[in-house]
């Protein structure tokens, strides 16, 4: 490794400041908190509980600034976005500086952008994408339910009420089309079946507050998981407390001749309206039916957090810890494919940002 500093790019954001906090508490570092606003970065660096954190001004849109930021880092953790515009930009700069890479976001599309034209450094170094909640935990935690054998069926419900900042709203608006997933689709018998499912409106789900709306969306992550584990049928739902967000997204996608930024205020407002209903909360629920029944293996995993963005910062920090411990092979990977599902679940069970973990 070229250095021993861990850089957290976007370390003053909703995801990044929690990544900084946890990396510091795990005793990793020294840390380098990066962003365009040096004052915001410095406030986070000064508050790092383990000390030894510096603040550095960096604009990831400026190649010189980004290269200088990555120089001397052993790991660069990217929590800046919008992910679907950043793609593999920061990963390439980190690898060029001799560092490993973690991205709290970055879907299969970003991973492919790097892997399709891999830099030579990727033969020795690692790049871990989708180290957040969704994608991230949504593809990692179901593996705990598949430890004892193949699954006939897996149902995934992820959602709740969470504030969406302007930067993440751009990601929400751009996460569509081939490469990301397919609305109403399910995975059945080894392939994607379009229009297989209908929205579940006003349903009660374990661990979710009140009645919620569950929208079927077979993400690329969910389809990859089903294919890898040989799941017979996988149903993947994004859960909302109201129709505000799906309606705002549908309106924006119907008017996609306008620049994406024009639609950001309505997505941000829709998320705020959801929070006004009952405050912020978020749940991940996985329900499995094993092929061989009666073996006593757990069939349900539930995790509840008050803050999905902050929890993504915890996951990014856990991915960086796995890299620092040498537990990740060289190459480009999704976090769900290389992190230890049990190890992450245990760490999350002890994290103050997790209200409940129920495995049974
Ligand atoms: N996988 C998941 O489950 C998950 C969950 C939540 C969020 N995310 C993703 O995580 C990313 C961050 O979300 P967030 O809500 O934390 O955003 P945020 O609160 O707006 O924070 C963004 C951070 O990036 C920095 N930044 C923005 N543009 C930059 C640039 N050009 N150069 C350098 N730094 C820059 C910002 O600081 P300055 O403004 O000072 O530059 C800030 O520190 C988004 O891509 C989002 O989609 C993923």
Backbone angle region of 143, left / alpha / beta, with phi > 0 → left and psi within -120 to 50 → alpha: alpha
Helix axes 63-70, 89-96, angle to 10 degrees: 50
Q: What separation in angstroms does the CA of 274 have from each of 162, 247, 282, 297, 308?
A: 8, 12, 12, 36, 14
User: Is 55 touching ligand 1 by the criterion CB < 6 Å?
Assistant: no
Q: Among the atoms of ligand 1, which is closest to the Cα of residue 138?
A: 3
Alpha carbon of 125 to ligand 1 centroid (Å):
24
Mean pLDDT of 285-312: 95
- What is the share, in percent, of the chain residues with pLDDT greater than 70? 99
Nearest CA to ligand 1 atom 5: 309
79 lines ligand 1 (CB under 6 A): yes
Residue 163, pLDDT score: 93
Mean pLDDT (the chain, rounded) = 95
- DSSP notation for 135-187: TBHHHHTHHHHTTTS-EEEEEEEEEEE----HHHHHHHHH--STTTEEET-EE
Note the pLDDT of residue 9. Answer: 98
- In this structure, are residues 295 and 85 in contact, taking their beta carbons and an 8 Å threshold? no
Task: List 300's β-bridge partners, or say none.
Answer: 287
Q: Give me the architecture of the 137-307 domain, per CATH.
A: 2-Layer Sandwich (3.30)
Task: Kindly tell me if the per-residue pLDDT of 85 is higher than 70.
Answer: yes
Nearest CA to ligand 1 atom 7: 309
Nearest atom (ligand 1) to Cα of 133: 3
- Ligand 1 center to 296 CA (angstroms): 42
> Above 50 in pLDDT, residue 283?
yes
CATH architecture of 5-132+309-353: 3-Layer(aba) Sandwich (3.40)
**Phi and psi at residue 203, to the nearest 5°:** -110, 155
Nearest-CA residue for atom 27 of ligand 1: 80
Largest CA distance in the chain: 59
How far is the CA of 112 from the CAs of 21, 63, 100, 223, 334, in angstroms?
A: 30, 21, 17, 16, 10
E strand or H helix at 200, and its extent? strand 200-203
Strands of 10-150, DSSP E: 31-35, 53-57, 73-78, 100-103, 126-129
Taking residues 216-241, what's their average pLDDT?
96
pLDDT at 1: 40
| Residue pLDDT, tens place only, 171-196 | 889 887 767 899 999 999 999 999 99
Asked if residue 8 has its Cβ within 6 Å of ligand 1, the reply is no
Q: How far apart are the first and last CA of the chain?
A: 41
For the residues 223-237, what does the mean pLDDT come to? 97
Ligand 1 atom 4 nearest Cα:
132
The answer to whether the CB of 86 is under 6 A from ligand 1 is no
- Whether ligand 1 lies within 6 angstroms of the CB of 61 is answered as yes
Start-end of CATH 3.30.360 domains in the chain: 137-307
CATH 3.40.50.720 domain span(s) along the chain? 5-132+309-353
Q: Residue 243 pLDDT > 80, yes or no? A: yes
Q: In degrees rounded to 5, what are phi and psi of residue 343?
A: -60, -45
Ligand 1 atom with minimal separation from the 131 CA: 1
Question: Ligand 1: distance of its center to the CA of 303 in Å?
Answer: 24
Q: For residue 3, name the pLDDT band (cuts at 50, 70, 90).
A: low
Residue 314 contacts residue 16 (beta carbons within 8 Å)? no
Find out whether the beta carbon of 171 lies less than 6 Å from any atom of ligand 1: yes
For 19, the enclosing helix (H) or strand (E) is helix 16-25
Average pLDDT of span 236-245: 96
């Amino acid at each position: 490794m070229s250095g021993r500093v861990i850089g957290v790019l976007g370390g003053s954001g909703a995801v990044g400041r929690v990544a900084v906090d946890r990396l510091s508490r795990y005793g990793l570092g020294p840390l380098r908190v990066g962003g365009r606003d040096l004052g915001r970065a410095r406030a986070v660096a000064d508050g790092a509980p383990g000390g030894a954190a510096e603040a550095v001004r960096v604009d990831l849109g400026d190649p010189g600034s980004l290269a200088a930021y990555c120089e001397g880092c052993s790991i660069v953790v990217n929590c800046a976005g919008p992910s679907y515009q950043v793609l593999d930009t920061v990963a390439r700069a980190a690898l060029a500086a001799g560092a490993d890479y973690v991205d709290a976001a970055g879907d299969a599309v970003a991973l492919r952008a790097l892997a399709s034209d891999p830099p030579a450094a990727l033969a020795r170094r690692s790049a871990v994408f989708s180290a957040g909640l969704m994608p991230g935990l949504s593809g990692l935690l179901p593996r705990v339910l598949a430890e004892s054998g193949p699954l006939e069926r897996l149902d995934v419900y992820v959602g709740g009420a969470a504030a969406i900042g302007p930067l993440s709203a751009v990601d929400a608006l751009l996460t569509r089309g081939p490469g990301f997933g397919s609305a109403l689709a399910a995975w059945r018998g080894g392939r994607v079946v379009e229009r297989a499912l209908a929205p579940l409106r006003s349903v009660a789900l374990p661990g979710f507050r009140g009645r919620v709306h569950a929208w079927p969306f077979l993400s690329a992550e969910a389809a990859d998981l089903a294919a890898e584990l040989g799941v017979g049928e996988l149903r993947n739902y994004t859960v909302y407390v109201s129709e505000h967000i799906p309606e705002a997204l549908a309106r924006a996608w119907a008017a996609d001749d306008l620049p994406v930024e024009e639609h950001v205020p309505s997505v941000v407002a829709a998320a705020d309206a959801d929070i006004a209903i009952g405050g912020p909360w978020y749940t991940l629920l996985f329900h499995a039916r094993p092929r061989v029944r009666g073996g006593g293996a757990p069939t349900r995993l539930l995790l509840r957090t008050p803050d999905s963005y902050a929890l993504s910062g915890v996951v990014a920090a856990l991915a960086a810890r796995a890299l620092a411990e040498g537990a990740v092979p060289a190459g480009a990977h999704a976090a769900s494919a290389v992190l230890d599902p049990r190890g992450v679940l245990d760490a999350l069970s002890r994290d103050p940002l997790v209200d409940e973990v129920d495995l049974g």
